Structure 1
Amino acid sequence: MLLTILTTHAPATDLGYLLHKNPARPSRFDLPVGQGHVFYPEATPERCTVALLVEVDSVVLSRGRAGASGLPLEPYVNDRPYAASSFLSSAMREGFGTAMTGRSKERPELAAQTLPFEVHLPALPSRGDVSLAERMFRPLGYQVTAGTTLLDESFPEWGQSPYLDLKLEGTVRLQDLLAHLYVLIPVLDDTQHYYVDEAEIDKLLRYGAGWLDAHPERDLITRRFLKHRRALQRAAQAHFTDDDGPGSERPATPTLNEQRLEALKAALVASGAVTVLDLGCGEGNLLAKLLPERQFTRLLGLDVSPRVLARARDNLRLNELPESYRNRLTLTQGSLTYRDTRLQGFEAAALVEVIEHLDEGRLWTLERVVFGDARPSTVVVKTPTEEFNARWASLPAGDTRHADHRFEWTRAQFQPWAERVADEFGYAVTFQDVGEVDAHLGPPTQMAVFRLEAL
């Protein structure tokens, strides 16, 4: 899959400074699904074009069954390696991550300016008519040229190809251009190659800041970006401002996921710990919060899935971090149901929605590994509150918030479990509500903080 961005700003080669990629030196980086390449087909003072090429490993793709519909051959024979999709959006974060934050060490004033750009996506899936691309990009100020051809000229009865040859022209900040592409490429494709959860709301709000709220297709963008999950759509919609009059603004409310991470960070900071385990670290969202805190001198993220750990490395942008940061952080594969000497010697541990991924009958193994063997002075456990599920009409009674959850506990179930574990292993435990508390259903998330008692 291919994306090219051209500028005629003088000197055009300043694009290299804005993207932090030298026009004279091609760069390559690893992705969970293959490799990404950044190179410059042309680089003169008058015209400079950067190309992002993503080479998807078809073997990795087939094993992951990303986007599979259940048809036997689809994981092996599909358009994902060739057509722009959320794979390309992920590669943009890896290859152009610093530019997407609006930073440029050598040209900070230029990063804040609007510049002329031309974008070309030669094969972009669009689940809708040709006008959909115009409805997405024209309100953002772009001149849009989009066309399709016959799927196969030898068989005209097959109709038009679902792929757009899309060209955009506009004068925008590079940061805004990359944010528009990051969000709208998977929206036009109407699919994501990974599981979409509440963390995706944060991405949508971060890269949609300043434009999505007022976009005429805001609801469609939100619905498609969040993979048609109604509970996530409603949570995202709560952060958009309605029309309260010209110039009106409403303070943004932190997402539930953001509130959870902030509550965990606050508990770990208050513990005074300097070494922290993130057990079941997932894509590294909590580690991203902890890493900038100078208090924490050693962080270890553990997860059972190598693929999830690869995404954590991408999200944390380890290759771009200063060495002093990288030396404080370790990501490693492991299971919480087996004793692991690597977990010993840490002062605090966090289990962020981990316990519910184990069968209840196997929780005793986690209890002995974490509280009995690793035995940190502080353990923070966060888990969904089952009663609060009634607030989500799209969640049928008896269903869990995640397909892999083996159970979800009410407050009357979680608190006795935590008290028993604390008593058995010599800890004291306190409880904290996280998120908006419903008078009858309680909070969406419940958190227990265990502190090792002195002998």
Structure 2
Amino acid sequence: MLLNLSTTHEPATDLGYLLAKHPQKLQSFELAFGRAHVFYPQADARRCTASLLLDIDPVGLVRGRGDGSEGPLAQYVNDRPYAASSFLAVAIARVYRSALSGASAGREALAQTAIPLEAEVPVLRARGGEEAIRRCFEPLGYTVELAPLALDARFPEWGASPYWRLRIAGCVRLRELLSHLYVLLPAIDGDKHYFVGDDEVDKLVAKAGDWLAAHPQRDWIANRYLKRRRSLVRSALARLLDAEEDDVDRAEQAREAAEEAIERPLSLNEQRMGSVLSVLRQSGARSIVDLGCGEGRLLGLLLKEKQFERILGVDVSLRALDVAADRLHLDRLPPSQRERLQLVQGALTYRDRRLEGFDAACAVEVIEHMDPPRLPAFERNVFEFARPRLVVVTTPNAEYNANFADLPAGKLRHPDHRFEWTRAEFAAWAEAVAARRGYGLRLLPVGPLDPALGAPTQMALFTRDA
């Protein structure tokens, strides 16, 4: 596991002062899980690079773990010695402690100065793919360069791996760069090698208190860093935002309720769910994947239908999945019911083999939450890789918005919508997808029909032969 830090600030060898590590010495440090080494492959006045190398014993990681543990630490053969993770974050805090705190004996002013810095991580696991990495680092002002790593270059048919080579560059203070890496690398990796408790909230607030509150991916980062422990996430967000935990929950609920308030007079959500459920019933499908399942409204209806023997709910929001689990009383369902339903976190714009093998897929009011440049990736994931016999897609009809008295002209129904299409725009997209992917297409209105503006929701049914 390797982290390279570089600067072109002259004299570049001042990086040694900032890190408190002499460029002409190899230094080693004992850690609980192995050894860390710091050395400088390049150190001259124009460019200096410090390398932090972790030597981790994979056998030692799992020795004595006879508790039935699962995950990357449960097997002798794993990626933990190589992929950047919480191990690297611990090493940063231990080896670069003074730099992480912003201290530098002899270069105090430089430590508080933004200088050109680069960080390179040769192997980073990101199940959310390129988008997850970019959404973490780019809002902080970094230029991000990514190169995907193949599972095996000799067997390209095996497909892409979840591993990436990462290089970020920006003009920042060293302590800021280190704090970003300390928090974001474990969050992107999605796992930790130690128990996550209340002290992790303290670490998150201490290391990220200056920048995380304003980060557009704040909730996602906090959830991943704290291993989806809902009580810890609420506590961390409350401290970061200087708010009460109940206020955090209320703010999230208020955002989700915005669209519902506009559509409630029409009972549009109920009509939408009823229409989708009717289509699924008539299709004869027995296995359903709900893409962007949100808080589980459709999942609850599917569970009541014995016809549907296998149900998968997928959403990028861990909070929504938590709410769905509570709403559906997963912990209290009879075993026969519980076995039919699974909830998983995942991005819909990257290939995910968990989505394959289903009779039908639904994306109910989902595509409008995606940036338009990501729609081709969604299309490929669903229609090329997952390829169910039936795909149901619903989305708002922008023309009908004129009938909502509380919605100002030109305003979207929900603050998170990236777009809302007219009937012609939706039809053009759906027809192109169907033609490219070998599906038949049927377009249907959902909700009360306005003679001039159409229905408030538009639905596309993509079907292919078995």
TM-score, normalized by length of structure 2? 0.51
In structure 2, relative to structure 1, the CA distance for the partners of 1:73 and 1:22 (3 Å cut) is closer
For 1:81, what is the secondary structure of its paired residue?
coil
> How far, CA to CA, are the matches of 1:68 and 1:215 in structure 2?
37
C-alpha deviation, 1:30, in angstroms: 0.4
Q: How many residue pairs end up in the alignment?
A: 251
- Look up the match of 2:103: 103
> How far, CA to CA, are the matches of 2:144 and 2:67 in structure 1?
28
8 Å CA contact 1:67, 1:192 repeated in 2: no
C-alpha deviation, 1:9, in angstroms: 0.5
> How far, CA to CA, are the matches of 1:53 and 1:66 in structure 2?
29
8 Å CA contact 1:130, 1:147 repeated in 2: no
- Look up the match of 1:118: 118
> How far, CA to CA, are the matches of 1:41 and 1:196 in structure 2?
35
Name whichever structure is richer in helix by fraction. 2
- Look up the match of 1:90: 90
In structure 2, relative to structure 1, the CA distance for the partners of 1:41 and 1:136 (3 Å cut) is same
> How far, CA to CA, are the matches of 1:66 and 1:224 in structure 2?
26
- Look up the match of 2:8: 8
Where does structure 1 lack aligned partners over 5 or more consecutive residues? 242-249, 254-392, 398-455
C-alpha deviation, 1:209, in angstroms: 1.7
- Look up the match of 2:28: 28
Aligned amino acid, residue 111 of structure 2 = A
- Look up the match of 2:411: none
- Look up the match of 2:159: 159
C-alpha deviation, 1:73, in angstroms: 9.6
> How far, CA to CA, are the matches of 2:72 and 2:191 in structure 1?
20
| Correspondence 1:164-203 to 2 at 5 A | 164-203=164-203
For 2:118, what is the secondary structure of its paired residue?
strand
In structure 2, relative to structure 1, the CA distance for the partners of 1:73 and 1:115 (3 Å cut) is closer
For 2:161, what is the secondary structure of its paired residue?
coil
Aligned amino acid, residue 87 of structure 2 = F
- Look up the match of 1:284: none
Aligned amino acid, residue 29 of structure 1 = F
For 1:77, what is the secondary structure of its paired residue?
coil
C-alpha deviation, 1:105, in angstroms: 1.4
For 1:148, what is the secondary structure of its paired residue?
strand
| Correspondence 1:285-434 to 2 at 5 A | none
In structure 2, relative to structure 1, the CA distance for the partners of 1:185 and 1:73 (3 Å cut) is closer
> How far, CA to CA, are the matches of 2:73 and 2:121 in structure 1?
27
Where does structure 2 lack aligned partners over 5 or more consecutive residues? 246-325, 332-466
In structure 2, relative to structure 1, the CA distance for the partners of 1:72 and 1:174 (3 Å cut) is closer
> How far, CA to CA, are the matches of 1:155 and 1:168 in structure 2?
29
In structure 2, relative to structure 1, the CA distance for the partners of 1:128 and 1:71 (3 Å cut) is closer
- Look up the match of 2:292: none
> How far, CA to CA, are the matches of 1:25 and 1:119 in structure 2?
21
C-alpha deviation, 1:58, in angstroms: 2.2
- Look up the match of 2:249: none
In structure 2, relative to structure 1, the CA distance for the partners of 1:155 and 1:215 (3 Å cut) is same
- Look up the match of 1:213: 213
Encode CA deviations 1:230-289: one digit per residue, 9 max, x unaligned: 111111111132xxxxxxxx5999xxxxxxxxxxxxxxxxxxxxxxxxxxxxxxxxxxxx
For 1:83, what is the secondary structure of its paired residue?
coil
For 1:224, what is the secondary structure of its paired residue?
helix
Aligned amino acid, residue 86 of structure 2 = S
TM-score, normalized by length of structure 1? 0.52
Aligned amino acid, residue 228 of structure 1 = R
8 Å CA contact 1:86, 1:193 repeated in 2: yes
Aligned amino acid, residue 44 of structure 2 = T
C-alpha deviation, 1:46, in angstroms: 0.6
> How far, CA to CA, are the matches of 1:72 and 1:124 in structure 2?
14
8 Å CA contact 1:125, 1:162 repeated in 2: yes
| Structure 1 stretch displaced more, 150-159 or 74-83 | 150-159
For 1:239, what is the secondary structure of its paired residue?
helix
Q: Percent identity?
A: 48
Aligned amino acid, residue 15 of structure 1 = L
> How far, CA to CA, are the matches of 1:11 and 1:71 in structure 2?
45
8 Å CA contact 1:2, 1:53 repeated in 2: yes
C-alpha deviation, 1:142, in angstroms: 0.1
Query: Which is higher, the Rg of structure 1 or of structure 2?
Result: 2
8 Å CA contact 1:29, 1:35 repeated in 2: yes
> How far, CA to CA, are the matches of 2:185 and 2:191 in structure 1?
9
8 Å CA contact 1:66, 1:75 repeated in 2: no
8 Å CA contact 1:17, 1:104 repeated in 2: yes
- Look up the match of 2:443: none
> How far, CA to CA, are the matches of 1:67 and 1:128 in structure 2?
29
| Structure 1 stretch displaced more, 54-63 or 9-18 | 54-63
Moved over 6 A (4+): 393-397
- Look up the match of 1:147: 147
